[in-house]
Structure 1
Amino acid sequence: MTDIERRGGIPAEIRADEDGIKVSGYAAVFGEITDIGGYFREVIERGAFVEAIGRDDVVFVINHDGLPLARTRSGTLRLSEDEHGLHMETVLDPEDPDVKSIVGKMKRGDLDKMSFAFRADVQEWDDAQDPPLRTIKKASLYDVSIVTTPAYDGTSIGLRSLESARAEAEKAREAAQRKKENDLAAKRRIAERRATTEQRIRGIRQDATP
């Protein structure tokens, strides 16, 4: 669970009708670059959650904490991807004591932003940019949440992945350099063998000349 990161800040739509308290909105948006504390920038690629939807048991909670008010496994939380991003929708039970305790805050706007908890399964880093750009290509989902103050928790996790990417890139550069040096050494050896062979052939020819 130490790999979990949180992102958010998109307004949620909240309305009440005879069916219950409906909450919907985008927990994540594709293609928009977000500054993560000035340490790096981040963008989520379209399709990042395709595998997670229908596979991961995702819960809907308040401020990423507490008992679930809805969840995908029970069918009370619905997640989908479209061209814009990761969309969520749920209808909360107005008789649920936990819902009753927050519905007023939601209607007033005290709880009005979407957030989500995820783990980056496949990511790419562009370290040539300043600050570096992280692209989330595939992610697992843990929860979607309505929050008071959106946070970008998990900066240290992102930075660790950046350092890991840098280390892998350095290993690749060192391996490429070693290969280049080995190739040059091999070419030199071949050239030396050819030169030696040619010298021997010339010597044999000279000895054979009357």
Structure 2
Amino acid sequence: MADNVITGFAAVFGVETDIGGYFRERLAKGAFTRTLKERPDVVMLLNHDSGRVLGRTSAGTLSLRENSGGLYFSLTVDPTTPEGQTALGTVGRRDVQGCSFGFRVKAEEWAFEEDDYRLPLRTITDVDLYEITLTGFPAYPTTTAALRASNSDAARRRIEAAQRKRGILR
């Protein structure tokens, strides 16, 4: 059984996505550096719904860090709330596997190629971050969200794998 922590990447660096057929977008490494240093009170929501709060940085139930891959999060979910039950259930079943985020662009770069028939490319280099969200329809499909396995689950899986390898368990 998994514990009540959901982890993943709410944003991934360097990956292009189509924004409504209007332009392509990607996040530059370091896009969250300034805003995270400022320690904003970021909330974690279900489907960008401000009435369905799952956690927040000021409460210590949501932690965020930027690494070379993107914006990593760890959310401690309250399983006694309807929102917490929904998050744990849908992420646990893998119905919801991605994230999105709410932000205001502080700095960006645009590329318009005359010989390129693709949409213009916006590279976001700095944002004010105010929310991240679990969603079944992420704008960036390479984002992730998954239940963190508890230590006992990990140990059980290792034991079962070893038993299968030795022919004890099928």
Q: What TM-score do you get using the length of structure 1 for normalisation?
A: 0.59
Amino acid at match of 2:108: Q
Identity among equivalent positions (%) equals: 44
- What is the Cα-based RMSD across aligned positions, in Å? 1.9
**Shift of residue 58, structure 1, vs aligned partner:** 0.7
| Mapping 1:78-117, distance limit 5 Å | 78-117=63-102
Residue in structure 2 matched with residue 74 of structure 1 by the alignment: 59
Which of these two proteins has the greater Rg computed from alpha carbons? Answer: 1
Higher alpha-carbon deviation: 46-55 or 84-93:
46-55
Amino acid at match of 2:129: L
**Shift of residue 110, structure 1, vs aligned partner:** 2.4
| Mapping 1:1-210, distance limit 5 Å | 16-17=2-3, 21-53=4-36, 54-65=38-49, 66-128=51-113, 129=116, 130-151=118-139
Q: Which runs of 4+ in 1 moved over 6 A?
A: none
- SS, match of residue 33 in structure 2: coil
In structure 2, C-alpha distance between the alignment counterparts of 1:34 and 1:100, rounded to whole Å: 30
Long gaps (5+) in structure 1: 1-14, 153-210
More helix by share: 1
Long gaps (5+) in structure 2: 141-170
- SS, match of residue 83 in structure 1: coil
In structure 1, C-alpha distance between the alignment counterparts of 2:108 and 2:48, rounded to whole Å: 23
Alpha carbons 2:47, 2:134 under 8 Å: kept: yes
How many residue pairs get matched?
Answer: 135
Residue in structure 1 matched with residue 168 of structure 2 by the alignment: none
